[in-house]
């Protein structure tokens, strides 16, 4: 048992996926709004100091503006008025992939609707990646952004500029002896948390190489950093896989940092065998909206899996990360 006093508490969610495809005629993530509203209610009741959202706040299949408006509306109506810190996922850029808008327009919407310019964060002008420093206890949270398009295995995801910045920040935070959390949406294929490494069920995770075997330099640099900074805690989302499939936590046998995957708040999916092949059932499990409540102590962080719909913790999916 932890006998030291708790420093603070935050909630960790991912893949909120507000979805108004074709003006709401083709909505795929049918529980997204209900689940987000319910999570905010529970988070408020459980006295979390802030919220971390690990990417894919919107779905953006046919434009994200209305989805972002709905996202803000749900927050405003919830009565939760603490800080929400969002990472930019692949869906924030989705419509650009289909040619409906430019990547820059997607980035601008992300900045505008997450109100990033008004947040107390360390950030270079116009950028979608940033750091948040906890004033009282000094912990550092680095929010990375997918920059190019869909975050699939077919693309690199990080510019040299973002990786230079990330490296500088990690060096600085290590020098300052801060505890570091990385929030970066997409896991690596067959590595770490978020999917089964031996028999991956999801084909959409990051790759280190392109199809012709040339390294993706941004992905590669991020991979190196999680091996170099092994005390860090990396929170990801993206695969949407349910806590009950138990691919939640990994350190790659102690070779990399602490990796914790967060299921989709919009409704998780499960690993299944479909037509004789391993895959995802893409059911939104209307009965579950999962994430974590994180209690931060001097020497450890306790991540308690939670279903926000029933407001029940999962004692079996609790991960204690020591400093």
Interface with Fe ion in residues 261-290 (CB under 5 A): none
Least distance to Fe ion, CB of residue 264, Å: 6
x/- string (CB under 5 A) for Fe ion, residues 287-316? ------------------------------
Q: How far is CA 135 from CA 121, 150, 167, in A?
A: 11, 34, 22
Q: Applying CB under 5 A, does 94 fall inside the site for Fe ion? A: no
Q: What is the side-by-side order of every strand in the sheet holding 83-86?
A: 83-86, 50-53, 6-13, 290-297, 300-307, 312-322
Q: At what angle do helices 103-113 and 65-78 cross, to 10 degrees?
A: 10
Contacting Fe ion (CB under 5 A), which of 35, 90, 250, 269?
Answer: 90
Candidates 81-89, 128-136, 155-163, 254-262; binding stretch for Fe ion (CB under 5 A): 81-89
Candidates 13-21, 175-183, 216-224, 279-287; binding stretch for Fe ion (CB under 5 A): 13-21
Least distance to Fe ion, CB of residue 176, Å: 31
Q: Applying CB under 5 A, does 89 fall inside the site for Fe ion? A: yes
- Number of residues engaging Fe ion in binding (CB under 5 A): 5
Q: Applying CB under 5 A, does 86 fall inside the site for Fe ion? A: no
Contacting Fe ion (CB under 5 A), which of 27, 42, 54, 56?
Answer: 56
* Shorter beta-carbon distance to Fe ion: residue 15 or 242: 15
Interface with Fe ion in residues 150-179 (CB under 5 A): none
| Residues whose CB is less than 8 angstroms from the CB of residue 60 and which lie 6 or more positions away in sequence, other chains included | 67, 91, 92, 93, 94, 95, 106
* Shorter beta-carbon distance to Fe ion: residue 162 or 173: 162
x/- string (CB under 5 A) for Fe ion, residues 221-240? -----------------x--
* Shorter beta-carbon distance to Fe ion: residue 90 or 128: 90
Name the nearest CA neighbour of 49 among 12, 79, 87, 11. 11
Contacting Fe ion (CB under 5 A), which of 10, 11, 12, 15?
Answer: 15
Widest Cα–Cα separation across the chain:
55
Least distance to Fe ion, CB of residue 152, Å: 10
Candidates 55-63, 142-150, 159-167, 288-296; binding stretch for Fe ion (CB under 5 A): 55-63
Least distance to Fe ion, CB of residue 94, Å: 9
Least distance to Fe ion, CB of residue 59, Å: 8
Q: Which residue has the tokens 């995770």?
A: 205
Interface with Fe ion (CB under 5 A): 15, 56, 89-90, 238
């Amino acid at each position: 048992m932890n006998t030291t006093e708790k420093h603070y508490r935050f909630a960790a969610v991912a893949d909120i996926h507000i979805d108004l495809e074709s003006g709401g005629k083709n909505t795929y993530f049918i529980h997204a709004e209900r689940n987000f509203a319910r999570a905010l209610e529970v988070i408020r009741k459980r006295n979390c100091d802030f919220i971390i959202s690990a990417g894919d706040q919107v779905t953006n299949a046919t434009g994200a503006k209305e989805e972002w408006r709905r996202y803000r509306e749900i927050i405003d109506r919830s009565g939760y008025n603490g800080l929400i810190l969002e990472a930019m996922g692949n869906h924030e850029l989705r419509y650009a992939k289909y040619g409906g808008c430019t990547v820059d327009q997607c980035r601008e919407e992300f900045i505008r609707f997450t109100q990033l310019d008004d947040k107390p964060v360390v950030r270079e002008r116009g950028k979608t990646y940033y750091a948040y420093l906890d004033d009282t206890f000094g912990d550092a949270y680095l929010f990375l952004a997918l920059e190019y398009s869909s975050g699939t295995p077919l693309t690199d995801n990080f510019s040299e500029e973002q990786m230079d910045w990330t490296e500088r920040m990690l060096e600085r935070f290590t020098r300052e002896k801060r505890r570091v959390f990385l929030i970066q949406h997409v896991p690596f294929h067959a590595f770490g948390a978020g999917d089964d490494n031996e028999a991956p069920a999801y084909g959409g995770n990051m790759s280190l190489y392109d199809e012709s075997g040339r390294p993706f330099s941004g992905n590669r640099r991020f991979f190196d950093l999680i091996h170099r900074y092994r005390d860090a805690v990396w929170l990801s989302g993206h695969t949407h896989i349910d806590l009950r499939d138990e691919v939640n936590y990994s350190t790659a046998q102690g070779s990399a940092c602490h990796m914790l995957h967060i299921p989709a708040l919009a409704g998780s999916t499960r690993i299944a065998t479909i037509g004789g092949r391993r895959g995802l059932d893409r059911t939104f499990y209307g009965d579950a909206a999962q994430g974590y409540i994180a209690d931060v102590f001097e020497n450890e962080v306790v991540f308690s899996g939670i279903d926000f719909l029933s407001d029940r913790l999962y004692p079996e999916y609790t991960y204690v990360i020591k400093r």
